[in-house]
Amino acid sequence: MKEVVKKSICIVFVIVFVYAAIDKIWDHSKFVTQLGLSPFMFPGMDIAISKSVVVLLILSIMLLLINPSDMVFPTLVIAAFTIYIIAVLTIAPFVPCSCIGLSDRFTWHQQLYINIFLLVLSAIYFYLNRTVRKPQKAGTQARGKRNRIRRKIFVATTRDKP
């Protein structure tokens, strides 16, 4: 059951990333223009971020084919974009077109809710992916060591007897 939930979470991320990439490709000129108007862009940064389509597609391929158990990079991408959305909504001098985000069909607040949902899914994934150790009872390790010492003493004393 855990593996099905984890795989489903990966598929949700793939769908979101592929959808976002296709949306950016579909109206690339609008995306690049609006990206240049973003209040947090520095010179040259728009070129790097406009290549985010490639990053989204590579992450999708990675999740599907290469290593579906590695959700670190997709989670970091969503977390970074969530921080960007929060900054746009709280400290930006103006709110740019939402086409920079997941899609221009969503408002910035809707995109924030989607990202929070994806981060919750990511947390669930990491929770299910953790390795669980069986808890030891208090004093078990000390008792085990004492018993090993007793066995060694017993074996040593019984060997010496004729």
For the question of whether the overall pTM of this predicted structure is more than 0.85, the answer is: no
Using one digit for the tens of pLDDT, what is the confidence trace for 90-118? 887 777 765 566 667 788 889 999 999 99
Q: What whole-number distance in Å separates Cα of residue 95 and Cα of residue 87?
A: 10
| Farthest-apart Cα atoms in the chain, separation | 95
Task: Express each pLDDT in 44-92 by its tens digit.
Answer: 665 666 677 777 888 888 878 766 567 888 898 899 889 988 888 888 7
Q: Can you say whether residue 139 is alpha, beta or left, with left for phi > 0 and alpha for psi between -120 and 50 degrees?
A: left
CB atoms within 10 A of CB 23: 19
